[in-house]
Structure 1
């Protein structure tokens, strides 16, 4: 068999390399094309991944890179519905999120960067019989390559960690700002696939990137200053109660924005809120006030900012 012979001779024991070549060869529709492909197989996994990335059509590049940003730097794989909504968010164009922009066939999302990602079905960890369909990086070597210094510069710019995590935070904030906040919180989570993820993770990404992105700072301030999105976001996920998985509409009064920004280590957001007149001693939250929240999480710079603005160290926390 010509394919078997060619792959066996060049594989050097790399099973992952063989898998990638087989997926590529499947696209050959006739024998001459197959022969040409067999004659110029990439020699290494790096070369294989580089070729895959360079062959992505220009009209798909934006979505592909956003998918790879999320899958490379998110704390967990994305559910299909989360991934579909993530690429439907328009951050720069000002249109935000519109459900009409979702892909009609969610499982087709893997075609943006097939071979690099895979759709996986598994049972819910809640043991409730629910099946979860996730989009994951296809192999550990994919993440290793995407976070290496061996990427082509045009790709590396978007997958540099600070840039990628800022992008994730901006997508999440834009999504939260565009939700229909008039709906009950549970209904929002059901209808908007990225809502829970955005509420849960945006601060973690923003905390390490907002100082490098004025656009992110503006989105964060807009979120903290807009009562409906702010309330919706912290009812979907309250960092004071990380164990609480179910969103609640009947949570007691939420803490002030300055409290959550301080708790999350958002230096720029704290600075912006203070500059706009936020009450440095406002009460609320598990730790009582912003100073205690920042101190509990070890955010020394924020503690100093709050003290400089007159935070009362003797206030009840």
Structure 2
């Protein structure tokens, strides 16, 4: 990695014609004018103590995953007085006194995230201003929070901004990745070197939550092994430490009766009862039964309490207590069946498919748009006739809304259950949740959504915020279709693809320009009205030349689409699109399958 320092800071812009997009991932405030992309402000809370343009610029380029939302959500869910037992546990006290790794093991839903948040609060309360954290979160289908790279980015982001300065190691990394007016994303090796240089000058306390949700465990464990006796690190996981770490880490198991989890559950129920109608003996019976059946799982207790709160009479409460599910899987099965029996069953099924297999997190407004799409009639219903209420569509034990109004599966164990149970849907009598069905339905919905846009949509930037799903639909319908193993010419999706890939259709022109914009400016955080206005304004000013229908059919990689368009005299060498033509598309990205192009 180059150590050369560049003293003359370039203007805070990047030429639109550059294919490099790393700097603007999750950018939330920007302007694009005259071929220049200008970052103007940071639209999300960051661990910055300075407001300098340089720091904001580097922070946007680094594009660390937002784990602050996980922390805030955990704080908001935490019941006062719970989790305190961990702070007096002998293993925790020993860990506090010398650098080491403390590994906290517990089954799914046992409150590990609440404990890790309690530890973060304790360290900060005792004057530890160098506390960093990362939440592995497999519910985020983008993978930003579940991989090794996300961990590196998250720690560098938090440790590099201190005392109103930016760490020189990060500054040098940024300069070494800058080539002219473009800034390339750093490699994992470069991030490791940068983080090690930062750690040479700092001894932070690091809390890593939900290691079992990490998709690159080997890389993370190797990194932990290399620094196990140098830093204070807490790891929570459903699994025990492996390999070398098993012999060098302090361990706390919270599944056994000696932990304070049962007392925490009692505290949680006591406070919940203060705000509910249970009284006298009924209150005692509910509390006793839930603690007795909980097996130390906070998540299980919370789910059952939600069900019990909906009971209108003591008789129904007693009946419900006698039929309590044995575990989380049975709890989720009951929640799914309840959703299947409601009048909103089609919407609930559709929503679970999207949340399990969408390529990005979805906002509440986007979900409202998704549920307005009628796949059978291939129309989009009017969305402003009533307020959207998510809890009326699907059981709250399955789906939740975070502090940023992002709709997600309520817990990672919900996602595990849905994927696992997809093999036995007929036997269990549950919704069919499988990847192929999800990609099929999502790609259909996206195309239907695009086809309902008016001819002058691109010219009316004021209308963009009224269509919050337009960016997702435009970016990803091709990727969802590409993920299908088979696409029959008799399929409704095939016919929809033919409609959107009609060169004479105004919607094709609209969509291809939006698609090419996002191809050049990947990962912009466009979930705000301000950003949507600017994206629309930019597309009006800058001409993004789309490809021909055959070009996009080649990206979809479905042979029958390509052959149909070729038979209608579409030219393989026709110019347009990010990669220029069908023939030039393949070398730029190996995911495009040249073998499917007729010769």
TM bin, normalised by shorter chain, reads 0.7 to 0.9
Deviation at 1:64, TM superposition (A): 0.3
CA separation of 1:269/1:189 partners in 2, compared to 1, >3 Å: closer, same or farther? farther
SS at match of 1:18: helix
What RMSD in Å do the two structures reach over aligned CA positions?
2.2
1:185 deviates by 5.7
Residue in 2 that maps onto 1:152: 425
User: Which among 272, 278, 281 is matched to residue 570 of structure 2?
Assistant: 278
Query: Residues 160-309 of structure 1 correspond to what in structure 2 (within 5 A)?
Result: 160-183=434-457, 184=459, 186-209=461-484, 211-212=486-487, 214-225=491-502, 227-238=505-516, 240-243=519-522, 245=524, 246-247=535-536, 248-249=539-540, 250-299=542-591, 301=593, 303-306=594-597, 308=599
Query: Residue 6 of structure 1: SS of its match in structure 2?
Result: helix
Larger deviation: 190-199 or 289-298?
289-298
Matched-pair contact (CA < 8 Å) for 2:554–2:562: yes
Report the CA distance shift for 1:146/1:305 in structure 2 as closer, same or farther (over 3 A).
closer
The Cα of 1:15 is off from its aligned counterpart by: 1.4
Q: Which has the higher contact order (CA 8 A, sep 6+)?
A: 2
Is residue 548–residue 576 contact of structure 2 (8 Å, CA) maintained in 1?
A: yes
Partner of 1:121: 403
> Superposition pairs for residues 26-175 of structure 1, below 5 Å?
26-56=309-339, 57-94=341-378, 96-100=379-383, 104-106=386-388, 108-113=389-394, 114-122=396-404, 133-149=405-421, 151-153=424-426, 154-157=429-432, 159-175=433-449
Which 5+ residue runs of structure 2 have no aligned equivalent?
Answer: 1-283, 525-534
2:303 maps to: 20
CA drift at 1:156: 4.6
User: Are residues 201 and 50 of structure 1, via their aligned partners in 2, closer, same or farther at CA, if it must alter by over 3 Å?
Assistant: same
Q: CA deviation at 1:170?
A: 0.4
Contact 2:513 2:545 in 1 (8 A): no
Q: Return closer, same or farther for 1:109/1:103 CA change in 2, 3 Å cut-off.
A: farther
Give the 3 Å change call, closer, same or farther, for CA 53–200 of structure 1 in structure 2. same
* Counterpart-to-counterpart distance in 2, 1:37 and 1:208: 42
Distance of aligned partners of 1:197 and 1:188 in 2 relative to their CA distance in 1, 3 Å threshold: farther
Relative to structure 1, the CA distance from residue 76 to residue 223 in structure 2 (aligned partners, 3 Å threshold; closer, same or farther) is same
Shift of 1:66: 0.5
CA distance in 2, matches of 1:299, 1:117: 33
In structure 1, the gaps of 5 or more residues are 123-132, 309-317
Q: Distance in 2 between matches of 1:104 and 1:199?
A: 26
Runs of 4+ in 1 over 6 A off after TM superposition: none
Deviation of the 1:36 alpha carbon: 0.9
Deviation at 1:244, TM superposition (A): 7.5
**Contact 1:211 1:217 survives alignment (8 Å):** no
Higher strand proportion: 2
Range with greater deviation from structure 2 (287-296 or 26-35): 287-296
Q: Please, what TM-score do these two structures have when normalized by structure 1?
A: 0.85
Q: Give the secondary-structure state (helix, strand or coil) at the position aligned to 2:436.
A: helix
Question: Rg: which structure is higher?
Answer: 2
Q: 1:69 to 1:289 in 2, by over 3 A?
A: same
* Structure with the larger helix share: 1
Q: 1:40 to 1:231 in 2, by over 3 A?
A: same
Cα offset, 1:266, TM superposition: 4.4
Equivalent pair of 1:210/1:217 in contact (CA under 8 Å): no
Question: Could you tell me the TM-score, scaled by structure 2's length?
Answer: 0.46
